[in-house]
Amino acid sequence: MSTLLEIDRLSTHFNTEEGRIKAVDQVSLRIKPGETVCIVGESGCGKSVTAMSIMGLLQSGPGVEIGGRIQFGDTELISLDKHHLRAIRGHEIAMIFQEPMSSLNPVLTIGEQLIEPMVLHLKLNKKEARKRAVELIEQVGISRPEQILKSYPHELSGGMLQRIMIAIAISCQPKLLIADEPTTALDVTIQAQILDMLRQIKAESDMSILLITHDLGVVAEMADYVVVMYAGKVVEEGEVTALFESPKHPYTQGLLRSKPVLGQRQDELFSIPGQVPNLLDLRPSCYFQDRCAHCMDICRTQEPALKSVGGGQKAACWLYEEEKRHG
Amino acid sequence: MSSIPGNLSQPGQAAVPSAAPKKPSLWRQSLRRLLRNKLAVSGFIVVVFMFLACFLGPLFSPYTDNKIQMSLMNKPPSWQHWLGTDKLGRDVLTRVLQAGRISLTVGLASMVLSVFLGTLLGAIAGYYRGVVDQIIMRIADLLLTIPGLPLLFISGALLSEWKVPTDYRMYIVMLMLSLVNWPGLARMIRGQMLSLREREFMQAAVVLGLRDRRKLVHHLLPNLVPLIIVMATLNIGGAILSESVLSFFGLGVMPPTPTWGNMIDAANNMIDFQSHPWLWIPPGLSIFATVIAINLFGDGLRDVLDPKMNR
């Protein structure tokens, strides 16, 4: 099957005074047209930096080093010049952010901000763009669109603003929508509505979604394919059902166990002991070793590679290498 | 589309709770808060009065400002001449109003120019950073290190030295004042710009693929409008004051063109100072009242539009 976006060994490193931070290290993933890929992981594991690298929001410079390839259709995004990048942003790849409240310009009306990308990318005139803006607002489930067009961001609630953000993002019918924790700042009922809406929009077009989240509930609801990241690396990936049924990597297992189950009250909710390692002093080892229940000697000295573990899943863990060796 | 009128006719069904139909706009709210500030309102009234008096007043005066009548030399205030006459027999009230025209125009024009320069350069410096920022801000720093008044004095003296025609001097004085004033404004705008450009909504604008100029003009500048309004207002007062100082020392606008500054020049002369107070008190009071009023109004505006700047 064809590939829409292929990330090949992307590394985004930050050079700070304390040393080099490998925020994203050798991450590869691919997104097919119409597919929803979720990147899961806890805070600081490089999810957002991956998204920002795709969008070209981090520019290579003395502080930032970006390596690897990001192939979007026929274009390579990392080496793309500013002019062409601008034509892709907002038009073919759109992005929504975590905080809808602060992602809209407070002094411009919703209408102005919604119409702007359509005039720019689709070359519509103001009147056509306005007409389409009304349709978009209805599509994202807000009534009285005419009135919304004239309001300012502070007059709307967080949930409505996130709908508006989605309306802006899909206004130019992008091929890929990157959603960076789109529901984290919203309360649970709104969360479900937003996710439903994203799914519906996806069903109506052949848009792919790259969803970044730390919420496994969101993953279960949305994803076709899941990529689990830990400390800047992919530790496991696979089809959503397979991954939820038989998680291979101890980290994924831990993540799934630490999710509360509705109707089953446990005395104590499971949590993975310890903290994400400091990205500054990573030695060659499995980065999860000091939190892992199955830690072996080899885990402390050598880094496991991401390998197929059957069932279409891949995991980076010595457990499975060992198994193969003995079996 | 047909669902819209339906929704409007059934307010009970409205799914838009937070966007109530008659919410006062931000500007109207600010206006209401401004009106509650008594000092600012009285300042505004005085300013408006001054403008009206100076620009319309002379039209109703039976005297012309430059007609010399030796028979009416240095007459004290009377029913014919409410504020008396000066040493050339000219009506002082008419001249004060005429002078107000010049002073207010100089103040306004130099404010417009310095706000334009300050905003443009400050915005560019803050937005693009790097080399452009360094060049613009170092020039601004350079101008700021030289105290404003001496700089104005020297340039005023140069103008006299080069025998610049008095008609042009007014315009050159405006230019001089704005050249001295823009660096302070540019700094403020740059500071705001530096913080605004890092805000999340600007990242969202980048993601939409907007051009730099569009981001700058359409997304960032509107965020600076309150700041610009406040600074512009406060700047007028300063410009009027500087112009007066300059003209008082005979380095700004030259007589016979009257300005408040060169009219107070009469106080330089011991006899006039002691025995003809009507020559210098009215222009002095005019400067005082206008500048105080503008500053009170500007302070009120700042409280309303720019709460962050409160000390």
Query: What pLDDT does A1 receive?
Result: 55
Cβ A242 vs Cβ A218: under 8 Å: no
pLDDT digits (tens, 9 = 90+) for A56-96: 888 777 888 898 899 998 889 888 888 888 889 989 999 99
- Touching A: B residues 242-301, CB under 8 Å: none
**Residues of A with Cβ-Cβ distance to B214 under 8 angstroms:** 120
Closest CB from A89, A121, A155 relative to B18 = A155
CB contact under 8 Å between A108 and B17, yes or no, is no
Give the closest-approach CA distance of B123 to chain A in angstroms.
17
Instruction: Name the band, by pLDDT with cuts 50, 70 and 90, for residue B308.
Output: low
- What share of chain B has pLDDT > 90, as a percent? 19
- DSSP character string of A90-111: TTTEEEE-S-GGGSS-TTS-HH
Query: CB of B215 within 8 Å of any CB in chain A?
Result: no
Q: Which two tokens stand for residue A31?
A: 């997104």
Helix residue ranges, H only, chain A: 47-55, 82-88, 110-121, 126-139, 145-150, 158-170, 188-204, 216-222, 240-245, 250-257, 297-301, 318-326
Instruction: From B246, B271, B276, B239, select the one nearest B261 (Cα to Cα).
Output: B246
Q: How far is CA A154 from CA A100, A102, A158, B25, B205, in A?
A: 11, 10, 9, 11, 18
Give the closest-approach CA distance of A326 to chain B in angstroms.
50
CB contact under 8 Å between A89 and B16, yes or no, is no
Query: CB of A104 within 8 Å of any CB in chain B?
Result: yes
Q: Which residue has the tokens 């500013």?
A: A82
DSSP bridge partners of B239: none
Residue A305 resides in a domain? yes
User: How many angstroms separate the CA atoms of B41 and B29, rounded?
Assistant: 15
pLDDT > 90? residue A311:
no
Q: Which two tokens stand for residue B300?
A: 């009120």
Query: CB of A186 within 8 Å of any CB in chain B?
Result: no
**Residues of A with Cβ-Cβ distance to B209 under 8 angstroms:** 85-91, 117, 120-121
**Residues of B with Cβ-Cβ distance to A157 under 8 angstroms:** 17-18
pLDDT > 80? residue B218:
yes
| pTM for the structure as a whole | 0.79
- What share of chain B has pLDDT > 70, as a percent? 88
Give the 3-state secondary structure of residue A124: coil
Instruction: Name the band, by pLDDT with cuts 50, 70 and 90, for residue A186.
Output: confident
Instruction: From A181, A231, A223, A226, select the one nearest A26 (Cα to Cα).
Output: A231
CB contact under 8 Å between B207 and A57, yes or no, is yes
Closest chain B residue to A53 measured between Cα atoms? B207
Query: What pLDDT does B10 receive?
Result: 38
The separation between CA A249 and the C-alpha centre of its own chain, rounded to angstroms, equals 20
Helix, strand, coil percent values for chain A (each to nearest 5): 35, 25, 40
Give the 3-state secondary structure of residue A14: strand
Helix residue ranges, H only, B146-276: 148-161, 166-196, 200-207, 212-214, 221-248, 260-264, 270-275
Query: CB of A131 within 8 Å of any CB in chain B?
Result: no
B271 vs A29, which has greater pLDDT? A29
Query: What pLDDT does A327 receive?
Result: 47
Over chain B, what is the mean pLDDT? 81
Contact pairs from chain A to chain B, CB under 8 Å: 99
**Residues of A with Cβ-Cβ distance to B14 under 8 angstroms:** 143-144
pLDDT digits (tens, 9 = 90+) for B76-122: 777 777 777 777 777 888 888 888 888 899 889 999 999 999 999 99
pLDDT > 80? residue B283:
yes
Query: CB of B207 within 8 Å of any CB in chain A?
Result: yes
Identify from B206, B207, B216, B221 which residue to disrupt to test chain A contact, counting A C-beta atoms within 10 A and taking the largest count: B207
CB contact under 8 Å between A155 and B19, yes or no, is yes
Query: CB of B204 within 8 Å of any CB in chain A?
Result: yes
Q: Which amino acid is at B212?
A: D
How is chain B split into domains, by residue range? 27-58+79-309
Residue A228 resides in a domain? no
| ipTM associated with this complex | 0.79
CB contact under 8 Å between A106 and B201, yes or no, is yes
Number of domains in chain A: 1
Give the closest-approach CA distance of A48 to chain B in angstroms.
13
Query: What pLDDT does A133 receive?
Result: 93
**Residues of B with Cβ-Cβ distance to A57 under 8 angstroms:** 203, 206-207
Query: What pLDDT does B252 receive?
Result: 80
User: How many angstroms separate the CA atoms of A33 and B102, rounded?
Assistant: 70
Residue count of chain A, please give it. 327
User: How many angstroms separate the CA atoms of B67 and A319, rounded?
Assistant: 106
Query: CB of A168 within 8 Å of any CB in chain B?
Result: yes
Query: What pLDDT does B133 receive?
Result: 92
User: How many angstroms separate the CA atoms of B97 and B58, rounded?
Assistant: 6
Query: CB of B218 within 8 Å of any CB in chain A?
Result: yes
**Residues of B with Cβ-Cβ distance to A156 under 8 angstroms:** 18-19
Cis status of the peptide bond prior to A273, with omega within 30 of 0: no
CB contact under 8 Å between A156 and B23, yes or no, is no
Query: What pLDDT does A118 receive?
Result: 92
Half-sphere exposure of B116 (CA within 13 A, CB side): 8
Query: CB of B223 within 8 Å of any CB in chain A?
Result: yes
**Residues of B with Cβ-Cβ distance to A175 under 8 angstroms:** none
User: How many angstroms separate the CA atoms of B79 and B84, rounded?
Assistant: 9
Closest chain B residue to A135 measured between Cα atoms? B1
Instruction: Write the DSSP symbol of residue A64.
Output: E
Query: What pLDDT does B66 receive?
Result: 67
The 8 Å CB, 24+ separation contacts for A249-258 are A249/A288, A249/A315, A249/A316, A249/A317, A250/A288, A250/A292, A250/A293, A250/A294, A250/A317, A250/A319, A251/A288, A251/A291, A251/A292, A252/A228, A252/A315, A254/A291, A255/A40, A255/A216, A255/A228, A256/A216
pLDDT > 50? residue B307:
yes
Closest chain A residue to B10 measured between Cα atoms? A144
pLDDT > 80? residue B232:
yes
Query: What pLDDT does B45 receive?
Result: 93
Query: What pLDDT does A325 receive?
Result: 58
CB contact under 8 Å between B208 and A144, yes or no, is no
CB contact under 8 Å between B16 and A147, yes or no, is yes
Query: What pLDDT does B253 receive?
Result: 81
Lowest mean pLDDT among A1-5, A245-249, A262-266, B224-228: A262-266
CB contact under 8 Å between A116 and B210, yes or no, is yes
pLDDT digits (tens, 9 = 90+) for B69-78: 767 777 777 7
Give the closest-approach CA distance of A281 to chain B in angstroms.
29
A47 vs A44, which has greater pLDDT? A47
Per-residue buried b or exposed e for A125-160, using 16+ beta carbons within 10 Å of the residue's own CB:
eeeebbebbbebbbbbbbbbbebbbebbbebbbebb
Query: What pLDDT does A39 receive?
Result: 93
Instruction: From B181, B174, B175, select the one nearest B118 (Cα to Cα).
Output: B181
Q: How far is CA A293 from CA A299, A306, A326, B227, in A?
A: 11, 19, 20, 58
Instruction: From A132, A108, A307, select the one nearest B210 (Cα to Cα).
Output: A108
Residue B5 CB burial class (10 angstroms; 0-12, 13-18, ≥19) = exposed
Query: CB of A108 within 8 Å of any CB in chain B?
Result: yes
pLDDT digits (tens, 9 = 90+) for B121-153: 999 999 988 899 999 999 999 988 888 888 888
Q: How many CB atoms lie within 10 A of CB A40?
A: 25
pLDDT > 70? residue B22:
no
Closest chain B residue to A170 measured between Cα atoms? B208
Residue A229 resides in a domain? no
User: How many angstroms separate the CA atoms of A36 and B226, rounded?
Assistant: 44
Mean pLDDT of A275-297: 84
- Contacts of A102 by beta carbon, 8 Å cutoff, 6+ apart: B199, B200, B201
CB contact under 8 Å between B200 and A142, yes or no, is no
Query: What pLDDT does A276 receive?
Result: 81
B27-58+79-309: CATH number = 1.10.3720.10
User: How many angstroms separate the CA atoms of B187 and B65, rounded?
Assistant: 42
Instruction: From B195, B221, B22, B213, select the one nearest A102 (Cα to Cα).
Output: B195
Please give the residue range of the domain that contains residue A291: 249-261+281-327
CB contact under 8 Å between A105 and B223, yes or no, is yes
Strand pairing category for A36-40 and A208-213 = parallel
Closest chain B residue to A180 measured between Cα atoms? B204
Instruction: From B219, B221, B201, B211, select the one nearest A121 (Cα to Cα).
Output: B211
Instruction: From A237, A270, A232, select the one nearest A252 (Cα to Cα).
Output: A237
DSSP bridge partners of A94: A177
Query: What pLDDT does B18 receive?
Result: 44
